Amino acid sequence: MIVRSLLLGISMLSLTVFVAQAEQKQEIEIVYFTQEKIAPPALSNLDPFIKDKGELGAELAIDDNNTTGQFTGQLYKLNKIIVPIDGDVAQEFNDKIAGKFSFVVANLPVDDLLKIIDANQPEQTLIFDTGTTDDSLRQRCGADVLHILPSRAMRADALAQYLLKKRWTKWFLVTGASDEDKLFAAAIKRSAKRFGMKIVAEKAWDHTYDARRTAQSDVPVFTQGVDYDILIVADEQGLFGEYLDYRTWIPRPVVGTQGLIATSWHRTHEQWGAVQIQNRFKEQKGRWMEEADYGAYLAIRAVGEAATRTQSSQLNDIKPYLLSDKLTLQGYKGRPLSFRIWNGQLRQPLLLAAPRSLVAVAPIEGFLHPKTELDTLGYDQPETKCK
Amino acid sequence: MKNILWTLALCAAVTAQAETVYVTLEKDNALAVVDPIAGKLTKTVPVGQRPRGIAISPDNKFLYIATSDDDTIKIIDAETLEEVGRLPSGEDPETFAVSPDGSLMFVSNEDDSQVTVIDVQERKAIKEIKVGVEPEGIAASPNGRWVISASETTNMLHWIDTESLAIVDNTLVDPRPRALSFTADSKFVWATSEMAGTLTILDAETRQIIKNIKLEVPGVTFDKIQPVGVAIDKDNRWGYVALGPANRVAVINAKTYEVEKFLLVGERVWNLAFSPDQKRLYTTNGVSNDISIIDLASHKVTKSVGVGRYPWGVVAKP
């Protein structure tokens, strides 16, 4: 009898807890922070300019978090702050975000991101960087910023692992004129050294406006007189890279920023449940999920995963969980994702994708690591000064 | 005379052991039919777009096959392999569970975050139950009391009461729960978590987690150990867990919960099915395009049979 009344007491207690949860939901507000973009010059009209790259990924993640939240008594809110083209990003951050929100997903270029990092109080706001691939940013030690997208070094290593597997070891590197192109080329050179590849030729592609220059006549001459296995192009904006394939002097494939690319997300990716999120995204948003969408999605899902596990909405609980080895974030790529605690980089598999076919997923089998093979991509802890 | 008797005895033995194994081939849009005693693929028949989940009716007369890209579950005559009907499963059905009496079917609709309940006799959907993001594994308790749906992205087990067809409880488990199975006495539930590499055991009475087992294989990095399919024998002596890209099946003592052995099978092993007499276990190996046959008395892999591209689900009929 005593046992029975005790049991009744317990079940009533749990009922009260449940009711309290239903009435008073834990609120978790996440800011999506970006700046409007102008359509960049493009080689063709095939790929339309997408204004809301990233934003729609954030929306889907909030929905997914809330589907879970209905069972855990947590409510997620997305607060979009989009700076106009002529606006000042640092100013907006100080006015609208600093000290007011715990979680900010920043889809910004390097310069703007650095400004808000400088202005930020890390104990008040955790910044998720979903806009940069810059390695120097990731050399700032500590994890006051979490970088979601793979760095250029990670991308170059992913390509290098595959090229080594194919024994395509003689590389011809073509670099565009922008600073970003030079950084990508530097990452390629680092990978070449790391995996014992040989850069047999290196040329800069300059953009001149001579009317006699056409892709058909230019590229063969440009690539003539070198014996190489593979042409590697560094053209992050896509100003000339697409011209190279099928136009080289000797028949050689193109990889790098065009041709076969290394990316964290691609529309050809279907394995490990990816087809489900591709379908969900396309059905709800009317276009393919882009890498920037995937980045914003993962950032917000990471907050959701930590909030579910810790049953908390507080930065003090969520951030340590994100940086612990307990985090096993599901990213539709067949391995649990987690953060490198020494620099806040998300460790993840990279997709090696051709425009219409997924060629391989790095880390490529056979590249071993004592802790996790994912750390064969990019700067590993011993290569940094970080502790 | 002796010879004839011997042959007759042999024939009898073969007939007694007659058994058919059906395997869905996700990329071939086909169903493979295997004779597990001979260890041979006997035939392959087209079955519809992207077949995945498969089950057999309690009377062994019909196969139910989720043809995901046809957005339906087909009812196939297990003898003639002809389609005899379709069930309104909702979009993109992948896995489903049949109630012990065969009257109801519970289907996971991954894209819509819901479970569709179908009256099998009437071939009608009678209810949609909202669950977490990307429901995948689903199991009905042998005593008819519960259906549990696991949502992969929400990381929860949703306890569906079969009387009210409503969720009465949710249990948070490790990341990416994939498959689950009740013990034959309906007292315990085993659930696998793909991303965490764990097996969670719950008490179905209290709905509490009683044990969490981290599956570790010597010489295999932790992130390749991705448990998916799970099966427990009817005497509750042994449980088996397919470890995905670790290419092994874990053999777990169902009393002590100790992992006693790992059996090397084909590549990316996903789903498991017992032979009707529970003397053998069949595994689908998605990447190596075969099934492995495990002898359960000796816990040894005796044979692998090539079946076709991306074998997904498996079921056996006496």
- The structure tokens listed for A18 are 């449940």
Tokens representing A110 are 């390097």
| Bridge-based pairing state of the strands A170-175 and A230-234 | parallel
Same structural domain, A144 and A272: yes
| Chain B CB contacts of A17 below 8 Å | none
A234 located within any domain: yes
A219/A91 same-domain check: no
My answer on whether A185 and A323 are in the same domain is no
Which residue among A244, A261, A278 closes a domain?
Answer: A261
Question: Hey, are the CB atoms on A71 and B245 less than 8 Å from each other?
Answer: no
Residue A18: per-residue pLDDT:
44
Query: What is residue A51's DSSP assignment?
Result: T
Tell me how close the Cα of A71 comes to any Cα of chain B, in angstroms: 7
* B99 residue type, one letter: S
Chain A residue numbers with beta carbons less than 8 Å from the beta carbon of B223 are 335-336, 372-374
Residue among A165, A61, A137 at smallest CA distance from A105:
A61
Contacts of A273 in chain B (CB under 8 A): 134, 152
Are residues A279 and B196, on separate chains, in Cβ contact within 8 Å?
no
- Residues A240 and A275 reside in one and the same domain: no
Tens digit of each residue's pLDDT (9 = 90 or more) over B168-224: 999 999 999 999 999 999 999 999 999 999 999 999 999 999 999 999 998 888 888
Between B154, B174, B226, which is nearest A67 by CB? B154
- Which residue does chain A place closest to B152, by CA atoms? A330
pLDDT tens-digit readout, A314-348: 999 999 999 999 999 999 998 999 999 999 999 99
Question: Are residues A41 and A91 located together in one domain of the fold?
Answer: yes
**Are A271 and A332 in the same domain?**
yes
Cα nearest neighbour of B174 on chain A: A328
The domain containing residue A296 runs over which residues? 25-150+266-348
CB contact under 8 A, A283 and B111: yes
Nearest CA in chain A to B92: A276
Residues of A in contact with B224 (CB under 8 A): 335
- pLDDT of B120 > 70? The answer is yes
In this predicted structure, the answer to whether residue B24 has a pLDDT above a threshold of 70 is yes
A105: domain CATH number is: 3.40.50.2300
- Looking at A192, A226, A261, which one is the last position of a domain? A261
Whether A304 and A64 have beta carbons less than 8 Å apart is answered as: yes
Which residues on A lie below 8 Å from B196 (Cβ)? 328, 336
Q: How far is B176 from chain A (nearest CA, A)?
A: 7
Final residue before a domain boundary, out of A234, A261, A288 = A261
Q: Is A188 found in the same domain as A211?
A: yes
Q: Is A127 part of a structural domain of the chain?
A: yes
Q: Are residues A159 and A137 in the same domain?
A: no
pLDDT at B2 over 70: no
Binary contact (A330, B176; C-beta < 8 A): yes
Nearest beta carbon to residue A328 from set B92, B134, B195: B195
pLDDT of residue A210: 62
Asked whether residue A146 falls in the same domain as residue A292, the answer is yes
CA distance linking residue B306 with residue B266, whole number of Å: 10
In a mutational test of the A interface, the residue from B52, B149, B223 whose CB has the highest number of chain A CBs within 10 Å is B223
Smallest Cβ–Cβ distance between B110 and the set A276, A335, A374 belongs to: A276
Fold of B20-317: Methylamine Dehydrogenase; Chain H (2.130.10)
Same domain, A277 and A142: yes
Answer for the pair A141, A342: CB distance below 8 angstroms, yes or no: yes
| Residue ranges in chain A whose pLDDT is less than 70 | 1-23, 208-216, 387
Residues of B in contact with A373 (CB under 8 A): 221, 223
Q: What 8-state DSSP symbol labels residue A358?
A: E
B29-54 in b/e form (b: 16+ CB < 10 A) is bbbbbbebbeeebeebeebbebbbbb
Per-residue pLDDT reduced to its tens digit, A72-119: 999 999 999 999 999 999 999 999 999 999 999 999 999 999 999 999
Q: Does residue A338 lie within any of the structural domains?
A: yes
- pLDDT over threshold 90, residue B18: no
CA dist B314 and A360 (Å) reads 28
How far is A123 from chain B, CA to nearest CA, in Å? Answer: 28
A353 assigned to some structural domain: no
So where are chain B's domains? 20-317
B14 confidence band (pLDDT: 50, 70, 90): very low
Is A293 inside a domain boundary? yes
Provide the number of structural domains found in chain A. 2
Q: Which residues in A lie closer than 8 A to residue B175 (C-beta atoms)?
A: 305, 328-330, 336
Residue A111 and residue A88 in one domain: yes
Tokens at B23, concatenated: 């395997």
- pLDDT reported for residue B3: 54
pLDDT tens, position by position, A46-81: 888 999 999 999 999 999 999 999 999 999 999 999
Q: How far apart are CA A43 and CA B178, in angstroms?
A: 44
Q: Please answer whether residues A119 and A363 qualify as being in contact, where contact means their C-beta atoms are separated by less than 8 angstroms.
A: no
Taking contacts as CB-CB distances below 8 angstroms, the residues of chain B near A68 are 132-133, 151, 153-156
Instruction: Answer whether residue B259 shows pLDDT above 70.
Output: yes
Whether A330 and B153 lie within 8 Å, measured CB to CB: yes
CB contact under 8 A, A374 and B170: no
Q: Classify residue A375: in a domain, yes or no.
A: no
Whether residue A276 and residue B176 make contact (CB cut-off 8 A), yes or no, is no
Q: Looking at the structure, tell me whether residues A327 and A213 fall in a common domain.
A: no
Q: Return the closest-CA partner of residue A271 out of A339, A338, A351.
A: A351
